[in-house]
Structure 1
Amino acid sequence: MTRTEEFEEVRPLLLAIAHRILGSASRAEDAVRVTGRRWADTSVHPESVESHLAAEVTRVSTETLRSDRLDQDPHAGPWAAAPLLTGPDPDPERPAELTDSLLTAALLVLERLSPLERAVFVLREAFGCSVEETAAAVGCSPEACGQLVAAIATTSDGDRDPLPWPTYIAGTQNVARLLAAIVPPLRRIGVTVENRVVNGRPGSVFRDRTGRVLNALTLGVHEDRIEEVHLVVNPDLIAHADPVAEAYAILREANQGR
């Protein structure tokens, strides 16, 4: 396969990442073109073309945002772009660079959304809630929630299939930024966050206003600092979670009903 063919094979993913960051189809196309030129001009042969190009289009897109902000305010100080994450990736099928790019794109979208839209975005994309479950958590009708979900999807994914939300986040600053982006909007719609022991580790369980479990996460803590977050995506794989056994029984039933 030629380098051009390799690039074209991952173009849909690159467009989706760029669109999520920039919020514009035309600007996403521009970012992908720049990424393509950089790919054509380099002699690098990465182990994973997909993860390498995902990281590159993320850099191009965030550089564009930084330039936009400086153009709007020439006296603005340095912009702290979303940092790429470091650390091991527990999913061998998803290289760390690709996970970094996906989370960076998701965080930049969260920072552009209103608090209500953030809550819906997290419930749908990070927690995997159905429209009905999201509507119940938000406190609106499924019809109204569906309209909101569609509007957010258009903004964040450009009517393409949604990008997967990473289930592992590493690095103290990255964890802090993620939690700051998702917890306050969820609290504003009545979601409670309970500190529990999950699988023998510190963790949190998210419940809607009726007490129904939405999702959970485990935390990697070192010297009183949270350095890792693992989203729970399959409660059946959790062992020794007696303090939240009832919660995961409810979550299992909900998942089986989807």
Structure 2
Amino acid sequence: MTPETEIEFEELRPLLFSIAYRILGSVSEAEDAVQETWIRLEGTSTEPESLKAYLSTVVTRISLDVLRSARVRRETYVGPWFPEPLPTDTHIDEPVDIYASPEKATELADSVSMAALLLLERLSPLERAVFVLREVFHFGFADIAKAVDRSEAACRQLASRARRHMDEGKPRFEADRRKRAELSDRFFEALRDGDLDQLQALLAADVETVNDGGGVAGGVGGRFGAEKAARILIAAVPPLLAIGARLEQRELNGEPGAILRDADGAILGTWTLDILDGQIQRIRSVTNPEKLGHLGPVADLKDVVRRRNRHRRGQ
């Protein structure tokens, strides 16, 4: 392998990660897929004619193999399943041209949202890979056919079928990122202040709160309505903040959200907000510790909750 090839691989690494993450919905598995792609590149005796096409093919095939086995594991997953949260405000593993234009930035951000990734879960592995390569990264069908080892005609059919399924369930978002950020700021401010009325006013009447705890940490949530959801949030979060926890507002998966940390900075969970028509329609949280390790040290949520409850009782 030449030094030039090594440099080009590093330049393409963000693209490879982005392909793998959208296929797998897992940061750790996507990073492993990219590393395995590097190992295979090291092991090849010939210089590919197009390194981008070669590496994209390799990482797609590795991701497909991983996804097929992951599907089996997800069938026995306890509670709601969400992708591993991905910071998109400062995350370096996105293509360098992600912000080449506002339109492209929005397109890429929407394709990595929790809602979009959950919609991708409905597709077959092949449909998912073809959709990601074609609709998100605009690969030609000749390259896609090589990547998934199917004919171009078959890939066109897979792309059409996948696009139809995605369009049928396409999530709707507040298009104005500034408005989303402003409403998110007001939500987290009301939560920190324990302002029940303000919090309720920001929630849609049929707001849904859903948590991925993997049966290990936290409940599963539900569709409670604005008043009950606001009361649950006020009962749960401000007492955590009173014992030193903090909400670190971040953009996660292209959406406004936050990382909840304990007093030592370890991670308790993440939140993302689905915003439309000036209200929060859905709050998604992830507290499964197995899905948080890529963000930093993970806290013991059960222990923190016990300490919160003792604090509330004045003990």
TM-score category (smaller protein): 0.3 to 0.5
TM-score, normalised with respect to structure 2: 0.30
User: Who wins on radius of gyration, i.e. which is larger?
Assistant: 2
TM-score (norm 1): 0.36
